[in-house]
Amino acid sequence: MPKMTVKYPLITNMNSKSPISEAYKALRTNIEFSNVDRELKCIMFTSSQQGEGKSTTAANVAVAFAQTNRKVLLLDCDLRRPTQHHIFNISNQVGLTSYLSHQADLSEIMVSTSIPNLSVVLSGPVPPNPSELLASKRMTGLLNELREQYDMIIVDTPPIMAVTDSQIVATKCDGVLLVLDSGTVKREVALMAKQKLELVNAKILGVVLNKMSKKNTNSYYYYYGNRE
């Protein structure tokens, strides 16, 4: 598979020493130490609503893990409004939906990036039945197979308040991070998003507060570990 060129907003790749990149690295470290009892190999990212930065956060965290010489896969499970193909500037004609609908083999949907140790599986064409595809045995089997091939799997999913897709995927992952826009999200919405994840017994690792106002930066990311 040919290597693809990465464009903005992958700041962790463009400027690994910037304050925002350092925040992503801090998030990576907190993920690593968030659970000492079991291995966290498949981490899901979601948000409460559209536009809170969960796809950008997932992509940059994937890059941050790849920079530690681990074999990393970024899996775009947002089958309704996918973003990762824009972030990585890759064609989305073939992807996860192609595999789940038996139209492509796994080898056909794996894409190597120009970033060492990082591969991506894009969402593929938007299907008429996203929830059913994600809940399928073929999806479960895929994740099990990918766990054997990669050190870390980062999963991008739709906003939790919009559709049930994220709840479905959460049951198949080792942990979940909830990305919230600190400037716009309301407390009650954030609590409802958390409750939806708890309803399916998702392992909530913490919350990423996005776009916090900081001196000399336009956006900032901080991680709050789950203290329950």
Q: Which residue has the higher pLDDT, 183 or 213?
A: 183
Q: Write down the pLDDT at residue 216.
A: 38
Tell which residue, 76, 80, 175, 67, has the closest CA to residue 127.
80
Burial of 95 (0-12, 13-18, 19+ CB in 10 A): buried
Residue 72, pLDDT > 70, answer yes
Q: Which CATH number fits domain 11-225: 3.10.450.40, 3.30.70.60, 3.30.70.600, 3.40.50.300?
A: 3.40.50.300
pLDDT band at 212 (very low <50, low <70, confident <90, very high): low
DSSP reduced 3-state for 21: helix
Provide the token pair at 191: 């609590």
List the domain boundaries for the chain: 11-225
One DSSP character per residue, 142-205 reads HHHHHHHH-SEEEEE---TTT-SHHHHHHTTSSEEEEEEETTT--HHHHHHHHHHHHHTT--EE
Amino acid at site 53: G
pTM of the model: 0.89
Beta carbons within 10 angstroms of residue 107's beta carbon? 8
Q: Mind listing the pLDDT tens digit for each residue in 87-141?
A: 999 999 999 999 999 999 999 999 999 999 999 999 999 999 999 999 999 999 9
